[in-house]
């Protein structure tokens, strides 16, 4: 990055937090996706400072040179930590951000104690053949490429997306990704070409070798949303091998789909608060049995 990543620092009122965690959004998202959750979290756990990050090519983080890879995203985080003069003890990432969190732990993990991966499968995948279906994010990006720019209004975008078969909540959320133009109308706050490159890196990067030989100082928590459709039995079975190579913990968040911080924020709050404060013993996963939160 030519400048530090855009970010929001969230602390409890009048608190003097001693510990720092980065929170990373998913593809097509932004730091603000996590703002409400973060404010509630620090109110309950005021010893933590949360840094909500706009990943490269998203939100207000622009101008990053290629290549747009997970490793480059992790390097952006290292530079941000240096800019803020902090050493994060934890990094928490959702979906695409979950694999960025793993890349940061792998490449720049000195001082890092915990890595939380929220509903992201650690291994490589074929985006165009996941149990016979195209991954939904590929369909979304394809649909966005069909939207004519500039976009006349937020309402016009919602109408276009609804006409394309997308739900009301998704169409509404996508309006948060619009940037007004000086001459009128809107364009995207992200670069679709860069997003394509980032997704390619996401799908092709395999973190199982890293999980199978973790440093002793690091624990990795993977949270599967119970209603998520992104997990196959083969993915779950690999956690047994990973746990033999280090402190890898698999949790299941009930009553939640992929957008787990929206579907079950209270459950995720309890899980993260307990884990970040060191509560709970490692969860051992046996193939063929459902892991518990």
Please report, for residues 1, 62, 90, 103, 126, the alpha-carbon distance to residue 65 in angstroms, rounded to integers and kept in the order given: 7, 9, 27, 18, 26
Q: How is the chain split into domains, by residue range?
A: 7-124+205-276, 136-196
Q: What is the dihedral of CA 191, 192, 197, 202, to 10 degrees?
A: 100
Full pLDDT tens readout for the chain, 293 residues? 468 999 999 999 999 999 999 999 999 999 999 999 999 999 999 999 999 999 999 999 999 999 999 999 999 999 999 999 999 999 999 999 999 999 999 999 999 999 999 999 999 987 665 444 446 777 888 889 989 999 999 999 999 999 988 888 888 888 988 999 998 999 998 889 999 999 999 999 999 999 999 999 999 999 999 999 889 888 899 998 888 788 999 999 999 999 999 999 999 999 999 999 874 333 433 333 333 33
Question: 7-124+205-276 is classed in which CATH architecture?
Answer: 3-Layer(aba) Sandwich (3.40)
Q: How far is CA 56 from CA 174, 203, 213, 218, 272, in A?
A: 18, 17, 29, 25, 25
Length of the chain: 293
In the block, tokens 């803020």 appear at: 84
Q: What is the dihedral of CA 100, 101, 102, 103, to 10 degrees?
A: 50
pTM of the predicted structure, to 2 decimals:
0.90
Among 175, 111, 184, which Cα is nearest to 147's? 175
Q: Which two tokens stand for residue 140?
A: 């979304």
């Amino acid at each position: 990055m030519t400048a530090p990543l855009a970010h929001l620092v969230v602390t409890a009122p009048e608190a003097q937090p001693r510990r720092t965690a980065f929170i990373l959004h998913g593809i097509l998202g932004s730091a603000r996706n996590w703002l409400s959750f973060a404010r509630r979290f620090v109110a309950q756990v005021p010893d933590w400072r949360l840094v909500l990050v706009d990943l490269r090519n998203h939100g207000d983080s622009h101008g990053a040179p290629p290549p747009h890879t997970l490793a480059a995203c992790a390097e952006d985080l290292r530079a941000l930590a240096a800019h803020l003069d902090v050493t994060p003890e934890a990094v928490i990432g959702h979906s695409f951000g979950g694999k960025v969190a793993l890349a940061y732990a792998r490449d720049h993990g000195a001082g890092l104690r915990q890595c939380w991966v929220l509903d992201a499968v650690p291994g490589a995948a074929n985006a165009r053949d996941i149990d016979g279906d195209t991954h939904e994010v590929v369909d979304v990006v394809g649909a966005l490429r069909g939207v004519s720019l500039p976009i006349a209004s937020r309402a016009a975008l919602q109408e276009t997306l609804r006409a394309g078969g997308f739900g009301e909540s998704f169409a509404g959320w996508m309006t948060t990704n619009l940037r007004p133009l000086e001459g009128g109308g809107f364009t995207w706050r992200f670069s679709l070409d860069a997003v394509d490159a980032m997704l390619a890196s996401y799908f092709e990067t395999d973190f199982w070798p890293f999980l199978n030989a973790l440093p002793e100082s690091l624990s990795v928590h993977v949270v599967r949303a119970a209603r998520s459709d992104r997990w196959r039995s083969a993915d779950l079975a690999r956690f047994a091998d990973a746990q033999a190579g280090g402190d890898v913990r698999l949790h299941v968040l009930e009553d939640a789909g992929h957008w787990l911080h929206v579907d079950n924020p209270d459950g995720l709050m309890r899980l993260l608060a307990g884990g970040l404060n060191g509560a709970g013993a490692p969860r051992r996963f046996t193939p063929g049995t459902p892991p518990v939160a």
